[in-house]
Each structure stands twice: as C-alpha cells, then as structure tokens.
Amino acid sequence: MDILGLLKPNAVKVVSTVSSKKMLLHTLADLSAQVHDLDAESTLRALQDREALGPTGVGHGVALPHARLAGLDEVKAIFIRLEKPVDFGAVDRQPVDLFFCLFAPEDAGVEHLKALALVSRTMRDAGICAKLRANTEQDTLYTIITETQRLQAA
C-alpha cells in the first residue's frame, strides 16, 4: 500500500470557494465523481454518515475524511488544500485547510485501515504540511505528498 497507488495527480486540488464543512463535503463528493467516477450523492451521504460518528479533523489544520462505498473495488483518495481554513470540528478546535480523503470498498477491512494509517503518518509530518501550505500548484502539491514514498522506494 502506497500513496502513489491511492492518489492520482488529478485528484489533488486547491480550492478557494469553500467556506464551511458542509461545502467541503459537497466538494469532495463532486470531485470524487469527476476523478474516480463515483456517484456524488451516495459519496456525500457516506461522508456525512461518517462525520456524524465523530469528526475526522485530526488537529494541526488536517482532516482525514473517509467513507466506505458500495461498488468500489479499491481504496481511492483525494487531496484538497483550502486557501482559507474552515471549522471542521477538529480535535484541537483549530480550523482545517488540508484534507486527505479516502474512499474504500464496503468490505475493505485491513486495506482501509492500512490506507488510513499511511495517510495519517504522512499528514502528521509537520514539514510536509508546511510545504503543502506554502504551495498552490496542483503538480507541486502532488509531488510533495508523494515524494516521501518515492524516496523510500529508491
């Protein structure tokens, strides 16, 4: 399991039009339809259901929204960097600007947990988060997110 396998370059976006958690979840669902050909409505419902269990804002301006979806055959990801952070109900009560979202098959089990652990480790790295916040180009953001994986593979 690696980030290069989860995240496509076109699944990385900088968004300036989101001003609330609700809008962010809609944006994630719409982007999942564009990038991964997922049904936006069912994806939105799954994300909202997961958030109802407890917020996925992990602190330090980072959130890891995730959902299990019927009909999906592998774990897929989307990364969004917001130009202006939003209240996402994070554990540290700080607004969130970095969102690494995962979509997993309903029966993914261990694969879903491995993907969450991988993304969590990556986004806990203060250096990576600082670089992500300092850049606005989609290609650069993708490179920053995946460079650690590439260096470990080399």
Question: Based on the number of CB atoms within 10 Å of its own CB, is 11 exposed (0-12), middle (13-18) or buried (19 or more)?
Answer: buried
The token duo for 115 is: 């993907």
Phi and psi based region of residue 76 (left: phi greater than 0; alpha: psi -120 to 50; beta: remaining): beta
The tens digit of pLDDT for each residue in 25-51 reads 999 999 999 999 999 999 999 999 999
Distances in whole angstroms, Cα of residue 104 to Cα of each of 9, 28, 31, 88, 116: 19, 14, 15, 21, 10
The tens digit of pLDDT for each residue in 78-137 reads 999 999 999 999 999 999 999 999 999 988 778 878 888 899 999 999 999 999 999 999
pLDDT value, residue 3 = 87
Give dist(CA 153, CA 71) in Å, integer: 31
Owner of token pair 């994806």: 43
Catalytic residue among 26, 36, 60, 66: 66
Superfamily name and number for 3-153 = Mannitol-specific EII; Chain A (3.40.930.10)
Nearest to 105 by CA among 76, 65, 64: 76
Give the predicted TM-score (pTM) of the model. 0.93
Catalytic residue at 66? yes
Are residues 103 and 32 in contact, defined by beta-carbon separation less than 8 angstroms?
Answer: yes
Residue 82: beta bridge partners? 15
Residue spans per domain, the chain: 3-153
The token duo for 123 is: 């986004």
- pLDDT beyond 50 at 154: no
Give dist(CA 102, CA 119) in Å, integer: 9
Are residues 1 and 115 in contact, defined by beta-carbon separation less than 8 angstroms?
Answer: yes
pLDDT value, residue 149 = 59
Longest dimension (CA), the chain: 41
